[in-house]
Structure 1
């Protein structure tokens, strides 16, 4: 191997932008496969002799009670409202990094996935409302809004380098935009009666987090403690608690604390120290080593450090657990002929691609947005069908909007619509990549 590679080349700004994005895509692609396995397992158990035990397990009450304060929730609630907060936190970190440091810092390039995300929410919701007008379940229009990031990236991973990298960026950015849009709708459209005192405490907690950041407090455990306090306040306020993850993610700084020049100076001081056993008893030497370790950590921005820390946990633990807790439906108990199932399928399979493609075309046509290099309309058409994979957020919102047995029918529509969207999008990409060879 080349000695220069062993020593390591100096990092460039472009590496800091592209490497985290590449790492994010790899984790999402692998997580998509694990997520699919969790879905199939949940479906199998929900339609097996262990059905009652499996479905009842997620309703197990867990929590604490302090006098009049009751923090007892079902296991499914802690997963959907607690663990999923970390999911939205990581999505917000990725969105902020792309807007501040990545390709989306160009407003006209960011406008294309943003316009597609808006269309991918407006059109399917309109179709859903038109089909469900005056019927029970109309309140569940949010189920057709969002795109599942892991499954979409997993589908794109099947094609490797045969598809333009800009298509991955477009779909990832679009999925993050409409996931954030969906959680804002959840926070205010599917919340409960507001507890203004708890909401005020939550906003005060956010203000304390911002103040701590301005004062230079850099301890991640301290911020996790404050974030947990903010989450509890939002959970008690009636606003959906996962909004705390979105807000705190967007507040996370992207600026590094230790510059490359300062890092080289600190490391140079350590390397220049004499070798030998006497150095093990050298107080100054130990101080330099501790300072070098901290400098290495702080040479990454908080956004990148938190993404590296949490993204694998979200992709390989939280998302599969969420799928196990929410994807289990009894197939015999729900029919495709129910209005809510059909409305969701139409919204995901037709509404999402029509909205994404239509609004993207209007944005480019009006001059508000530009196509990224290598990204063509045929690939956007194929990718727009993949945006109909609404699994995670669709199930999340369905659990808030519907009651049994409508919930079961809605879940069937979500799984069917997501599967059809995936098959159509993958089939079009196969056709396009074969044409290019």
Structure 2
């Protein structure tokens, strides 16, 4: 390898991911230099507290609490793994304006204001890479951004949050309720003390926005994504799914749809039943998987650890090596592709299916009345079964595909019927074709 001046790397944040980035940069320095074609030199690590305990030992002279000074000090590459909106946004913009390329794992920022970051990178003529922002070590950003750019992606269906997948998997395998499964996830370190971002779907919604933006070449923000979490999923829901040969998963679903004025994008995150025969049904514990459908390549699946310090750092280092190669060649990678500017469909216009469990009076004609309610809103019934007798009588209905608005109106109608004691469960059904 021809000797080259080293590229100076600044790391913002030294938590579980940042500390592993520092470790890999140090331990694999020689190999990374050979792969990148130029040495990668750690120039500094910005932290909140100099005396905080860390997973790896960082030389004191590399630590600083002045992140702004670090990213504007003439470094070549900046790794942002502090998360959140601010100061991350200001630091990334300052780095780009100062001539540094950026690798970020910040899904929340990209989903909220990615357009500003991409525009700044374009103006500065620098790279902005973010493989680590979605699904940890799983390579999904680059396949959508580069490998499939010559194809037409029609659907992205994924399990992109390990915490919720662990909880739902535990509920399925042990029969535990949500609270008990969450408690176990917290004890094992899979869930935070405040699990809201995970269990209410905020984390998955940010990732869905990024995936939809890439897949469909249009700008999609987290605010565009319909979001429902798993805190209302009950053990009864999971048992009902099992009875129909299905499992419950929190899914991020991004689709290319025909809207009223041409093609549009649908982006949503919610729990859904999927058949056990579907590849995503076998994704266990805290693992992630993303299922991609395209017109030419067909169906592709990407699977692996979706979080954790070392797996996420692996994705960060992959981006660093790629950008270093661009520096060496005097080029830059692809920027944002949002040329289609497709509208995002509201959830009410999204086509889906419902599984509805209804406590009803056990008397003649009940099934006909329930079927009539579905028909009045243009929803066709695929299957129906009755469970129990007398006070325990329950109908379980699975619909054919209809708009979410039609299905919601049907459920509202059922709740007002005299023969219906309670609509005990409503869940969408995915993963099957009609």
**Fold shared per TM-score above 0.5:** no
Tell me the TM-score normalized by structure 2: 0.24
Larger RCO of the pair (alpha carbons < 8 Å, separation 6+):
1
- Which has the larger share of strand? 2
